[in-house]
């Protein structure tokens, strides 16, 4: 059985999980056999996989931007599409010094914390505030922050978008990967019922929370030099129009991911 599992990526990941070894070590040691306990653990994992449980939830972690993040069914599984947001933020920071002594970032809908933690890892001079409506997701995010040595620099807050007590202020970068899948579209996707609907369902047109966030930012006078919003691949024109409505003086761009799909709204505020 172990030889069979060595032939597939999922099998290698599961074998690494139950043995506590790396995939490369297992491939370099074809003679290794499983203990009875490891065989039982592998059989349990296989049954979960066959029942439709996503592989990252079975092993309890997943890689994003070169870092390993703990995950559970309370949070979305990190996806490579979100790396475009990280790359854009880091590229901007390399050419724009912070307004104050350190960079100040605000991440909305943080989930497992991959965005603020990755930014904190690559920008040691950053202080970050991150919000999420889910206490369970925030628990995972705090766990990940401690795991990567960023626990002291990220303040996690339970909030429905912006924190309730946030005063008018200026951030260097505001990021958000909010639920953006239209409700009816979500019901047709394989991930429906397997990952948290709360983190996926963006309402009838997928823009319910993005629309609310942009309105709150302007109404509550929360300024950001750069706003980055991950979007669904059909939402580029609509999100650009919304951004222009709220920030008429901004330089607004819709960036495409590696698949050539609209993926990131970049709102550059020239007057901040």
**Mean predicted lDDT score pLDDT of the chain:** 94
Distance CA 6, CA 240 (A): 46
The SS3 of residue 50 is helix
**pLDDT range class, residue 2, cuts 50, 70, 90:** low
How confident is residue 168, by pLDDT bands cut at 50, 70 and 90? confident
Query: Which pLDDT band holds residue 10 (cuts at 50, 70, 90)?
Result: confident
Q: CB of 117 within 8 A of CB of 148?
A: yes
Predicted local distance difference test score (pLDDT) of residue 272: 58
233 CB neighbour count, 10 Å cutoff: 14
Report the candidate in 127, 130, 131 with the shortest Cα–Cα distance to residue 100.
127
- The more confident residue out of 13 and 174 is 174
pLDDT more than 90, % of the chain = 83
Give the pLDDT score at 24: 84
pTM for the model stands at 0.93
Provide the pLDDT for residue 200: 98
Question: Within 157-261, where are the H helices?
Answer: 183-186, 208-219, 236-246
User: What is the token pair recorded at 14?
Assistant: 């599961």
> Would you state the pLDDT for residue 167?
83
**Is a pLDDT exceeding 60 seen at residue 1?**
no
Mean pLDDT of 66-70: 97
Above 80 in pLDDT, residue 3? no
Q: Is the pLDDT of residue 161 over 90?
A: yes
Closest to 120 measured CA to CA, from 158, 77, 149? 149
Question: pLDDT digits over 109-153, tens only?
Answer: 999 999 999 999 999 989 999 999 999 999 999 999 999 999 999
State pLDDT tens for residues 229-240: 999 999 999 999
Locate 82 and state its tokens: 């979100």
* Euclidean distance between CA atoms 141 and 56, whole angstroms: 16
pLDDT band at residue 271, thresholds of 50, 70 and 90? low
**72-101 burial code (b ≥16 CB/10 A, e <16):** bebbbbbeebbbbbbebbeebbeeeebeee
CB-facing half-sphere around the CA of 120: CA atoms within 13 A? 25
The DSSP letter of residue 83 is: H
pLDDT for residue 15 is more than 70: yes
pLDDT of 177: 98
Q: How far is CA 22 from the centre of its chain?
A: 25
Range with the lowest mean pLDDT among 43-52, 59-68, 81-90, 258-267? 43-52
Q: Is the pLDDT assigned to residue 89 strictly greater than 90? A: yes
């Amino acid at each position: 059985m172990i030889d069979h599992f060595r032939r597939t990526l999922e099998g290698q990941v599961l074998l690494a999980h139950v043995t506590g070894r790396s995939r490369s070590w297992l491939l370099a040691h074809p003679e290794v056999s499983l203990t009875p306990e490891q065989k039982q653990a592998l059989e349990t994992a296989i049954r979960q996989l066959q029942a439709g449980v996503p592989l990252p939830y079975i092993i309890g972690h997943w890689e994003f931007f070169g870092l390993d993040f703990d995950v559970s069914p309370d949070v979305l599984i990190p996806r490579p599409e979100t790396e475009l947001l990280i790359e854009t933020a880091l590229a901007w920071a390399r050419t724009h010094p912070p307004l104050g002594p350190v960079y100040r970032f605000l991440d909305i809908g943080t989930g497992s914390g991959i965005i603020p933690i990755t930014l904190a890892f690559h920008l040691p001079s950053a202080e970050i505030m991150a919000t999420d409506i889910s206490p369970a997701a925030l628990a995972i995010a705090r766990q990940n922050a401690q795991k990567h040595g960023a626990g002291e620099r990220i303040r996690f807050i339970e909030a429905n978008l912006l924190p309730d007590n946030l005063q008018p202020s200026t951030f260097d970068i505001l990021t958000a990967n909010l639920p953006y899948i239209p409700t009816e579209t979500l019901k047709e996707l394989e991930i429906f019922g397997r990952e948290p609907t709360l983190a996926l369902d963006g309402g009838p047109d997928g823009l319910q929370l993005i629309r609310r966030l942009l309105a709150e930012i302007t109404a509550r006078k929360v300024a950001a030099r750069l706003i980055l919003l991950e979007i669904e691949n059909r939402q580029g024109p609509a999100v650009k129009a919304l951004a222009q409505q709220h920030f008429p003086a901004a330089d607004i761009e819709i960036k495409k991911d590696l698949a050539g799909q609209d993926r990131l709204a970049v709102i550059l505020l020239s007057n901040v």
